[in-house]
Structure 1
């Protein structure tokens, strides 16, 4: 476990030399993305943040942006309207960023929620949560790889379930869970976690100059436990209240969650680039200290989950990669 006090010490070392210059937050209008943005801005550094969100969240996000400017006038937060469950919109937004920037230091991906209810699809025919937690995340990553590669500290963080991968719940013959009766939250969430790790593991091996992190946040009250249920679900209401109480009782506060993810976003503990870290270096899925994918748990420790990841890499990676390429090809 990386102690919270050590995390705060590391974060206190962030300055205009060691810090991020350009960051892109997908899912930063609420929850962990929002907490991390506030922690980043509160360092006082000069930074430009692209904050992506739906039109419906723009009004309340403008108030958040004003708050951030009051905290740190040197931070520039660029609101960018985007429906990130739609791959065509992901492509559009990436093109905007690529036309304006020569580098991106951090791509922070946290959009999504647990799909407790019935299957719902986007206008493009993808299950909504899978689009948010997998397809759009990988499309953002692949399209912004050239800019991430131009940064001396380029980093991609996907917040979902790093280190919690399984093999027995992955259906390689139904990666989109479209077969009748196959879409259940206890199938969908493990599948989306594994898909993130499988594809990020491959991208990390092909791009050793970029740090890739698949992270598990632990218990944080983001409000997402109330999303994903069918409208009017009594079970959903009761479940949400119980989980929110347990999270309040045992989970991380908003501020601690933000600081922990600021640490993951900046520390040289992951990949050797960033703010100097004199503690134990993180280890990738390839059991190296750099040039690969870091699976980071809620305590900011790395686990290479070697047995499961090796099995996924051997038996699943090529099929997942081919399927993903077929889905994303029109937008690459």
Structure 2
């Protein structure tokens, strides 16, 4: 485990020379994204951050943005409204950012919620939690890669469940979980986690100049469980209120610590790239290197390259996941 004091010491070295000056936060209006954004702005460095969120969250987010400006007047937060469960909306946002910026230093992805409810498709025909937890994220990565590749220390930080992949977690014969009985909370979430890692693993090989991080944040009380429940799920809501929510509160790390640990991922050379020098143990990517690739990291800031599983996933799933995802996203690229 990387000691929290060492993480704070590393983050204290962030300055105008090494900070990610231009960042895109997709899902930064709540949860890990908001906590990390708060930590990044708190460094006091000059920043421009595109904060992408839904119209329903704009009012409270504008208040948050005002607070951030008080903390750091040098930080410019650009509110960007979008319903990013829709791939067309994600494409629109990316095109807008590309028209304004020549480079991006950091892409931070946290969209989605636990798939506890019934299966629901967007108007584009994609199950909404899978769109938020996988397709939208990969579309942002693919769209913004050209801008990321124009900076010295480009990073993509994807927050979901890095290191928790299993060969049995992914259904390569039903990648969109449309067959009867396929879409269940206990199968959908592991499926999405593995999809993210498989796709990012291939991207990391093809774009070795970009650092990719797939984070499992552990237990943080973000309210994610509640957002997944339908109003008519009385029994499940009661179970969450009586048992799950108190358990999450009991074992969760603090908001501040979660934000600082993810800021560490965004800036430290512990996970490849040209980040802030790190004297501790270097992370190991899924390619077995410490300077480039996809880094799977857990809530202890330890790299968990899942060395027994990843080669099997490459053999079993990569080609199918890559082809299927490119086909589905093709119209939006």
Say yes or no: TM over 0.5.
yes
Quote the Cα distance in structure 1 between the aligned partners of 2:235 and 2:36: 31
Give the aligned partner of residue 274 of structure 2. Answer: 273
Give the aligned partner of residue 142 of structure 2. Answer: 142
Give the aligned partner of residue 324 of structure 1. Answer: 325
CA shift for structure 1 position 278: 1.0
Quote the Cα distance in structure 2 between the aligned partners of 1:35 and 1:261: 9
| TM-score (normalised: structure 1) | 0.98
Q: Does 1:12 align with 2:12?
A: yes
| TM-score (normalised: structure 2) | 0.98
SS of structure 2 residue aligned to 1:316: helix
Please tell me whether the aligned partners of residues 208 and 290 of structure 1 are also in contact (alpha carbons under 8 angstroms).
Answer: no
Give the aligned partner of residue 41 of structure 1. Answer: 41
CA shift for structure 1 position 240: 2.5
Give per-residue Cα distances to partners, 1:58-87, cap 9 Å, x unaligned.
111000000000000000000000111100
Quote the Cα distance in structure 2 between the aligned partners of 1:78 and 1:299: 31
CA shift for structure 1 position 140: 0.2
Map 1:159-198 → 2, pairs under 5 A: 159-198=159-198
Give per-residue Cα distances to partners, 1:221-271, cap 9 Å, x unaligned.
101110222223223323322222122212111111100100011111111
Give the aligned partner of residue 119 of structure 2. Answer: 119
Q: Does 1:296 align with 2:319?
A: no
Give per-residue Cα distances to partners, 1:198-239, cap 9 Å, x unaligned.
000000000001000011010001011102222232233233
Please tell me whether the aligned partners of residues 86 and 131 of structure 2 are also in contact (alpha carbons under 8 angstroms).
Answer: yes
Give the aligned partner of residue 316 of structure 2. Answer: 315
Compute the RMSD of aligned alpha carbons. Answer: 0.9
SS of structure 2 residue aligned to 1:25: strand
Q: Which runs of 4+ in 1 moved over 6 A?
A: none
Quote the Cα distance in structure 2 between the aligned partners of 1:186 and 1:67: 38
**Unpaired runs of 5+ in structure 2?**
none
Please tell me whether the aligned partners of residues 273 and 292 of structure 2 are also in contact (alpha carbons under 8 angstroms).
Answer: no
SS of structure 2 residue aligned to 1:324: helix
SS of structure 2 residue aligned to 1:259: helix
Give per-residue Cα distances to partners, 1:36-68, cap 9 Å, x unaligned.
000000110000000000011111100000000
SS of structure 1 residue aligned to 2:308: helix
Quote the Cα distance in structure 2 between the aligned partners of 1:43 and 1:150: 24
Give per-residue Cα distances to partners, 1:3-42, cap 9 Å, x unaligned.
1000000000000011110010000000110000000001
Aligned residues: 332
Give the aligned partner of residue 305 of structure 1. Answer: 306
CA shift for structure 1 position 307: 1.1
